[in-house]
Amino acid sequence: MKLQSVSLLLSTLSIALSAPSPYRPKPKLVNKYPGLDVLAKRAGLLYFGTAIDNVVLNNSQYISIAHNKSEFGQVTPSNGQKWMYIEPQQGKFNYSMGDAITKPGREAGQMGRCHTFIWHNQLPEWLTAKNWTKPELVKVLENHIRHEARHYYDSCYAWDVVNEAFNDDGTLRETMWLNTIGKSYIELAFKFARKYTSPRTRLYYNDYGIERVNNKSIAVAEMVKYFLKRGVPIDGVGLQAHFTTGRSPSYNETSASIAQYNKLGVEVALTELDVRQALPDSHEQQQAQAKIYADSVKACVDAKDCVGVTVWDFWDPVSWVPETFPGYGDACLWSANFTKKPAYYAISDMLREYS
């Protein structure tokens, strides 16, 4: 090679080495472990959410999970919006407990489900101790719904308007509402809710034991059909889904129950999902619990119009189960030391199949 050619080659090489490299975008970092809400949305649901109780709001580790939008895209006050806390004295309203959950939820970008306008439990003494006339109690009911609905006007994707109004045999539960107003109290509650909530808010009837096609779930379906025929506003049915390891509905049974409401033209949600276990817990029970959780969520994902799933809290120490069902517990997705349980991963793995 001639000296002139070598010189030219070295000059060209020097220019190439000193020139800036062509732009190559950095590869996006992919989260290998997306949260349950992220996966639920990929699978077609509107949200995966959790209920939150006020008793645990001082636990920073709990709060960091509860308001982690990737895990929970929706939050529900499990107690703070019930009558005894909202209207502890007649005409005197206190929204502090509900706000303590809904406000941080909005700040975290989470949706809200609101729970509940009317129930036979957790009522203040001023309401239960008096013998009301029908017109008086109707007025009290409307006034309560008006104030609470207006306060949470833009905070609720959905309201559980009436909670647990039926017995297991499909008859109406005997309550002060039924005894004083008559069966029309349910219809009135929905009409009042529609009158005072945002037009965008979905109005739900919510109950347990309706996750199979049975006397109770059929009675609820008949009520929905009757309401729709008469123009009574109702948008959805909440299947609470409080289950027990060893005697929970199957995927097919839950799917069939969801379908009976979807066929009527209303949406469905699993609103209070948990799976309690006989104590002490065991590896076998955890595996069974995991399957129940995954199958329940899958039934919602596969349904025509099941919009989302809410677990009734996610941390075992604050579950309602041990107090209500002595000898049972460990019903949630996180254990006492904040370890994710097999049920969490079973839901996650199932949802990934839809991604």
Residues annotated catalytic, as ranges: 164, 272
Residues 6+ apart with CB under 8 A from 91: 143
- Distance, in Å, from the CA atom of 33 to the CA atom of 35, rounded to the nearest integer, reads 6
What residues have CB less than 8 Å from 253, skipping those under 6 apart?
Answer: 211, 212, 213
Any alpha helices (H) in the chain, and if so which ranges?
3-18, 36-42, 60-66, 83-86, 96-107, 125-128, 134-151, 176-181, 184-196, 215-230, 251-262, 283-302, 321-324, 342-352
Q: Position 49: which residue type?
A: G
Question: Whose CA is closest to 194, among 262, 239, 146?
Answer: 146
Q: Across-strand partners of 273?
A: 311
Helix (H) or strand (E) holding 118: strand 111-118
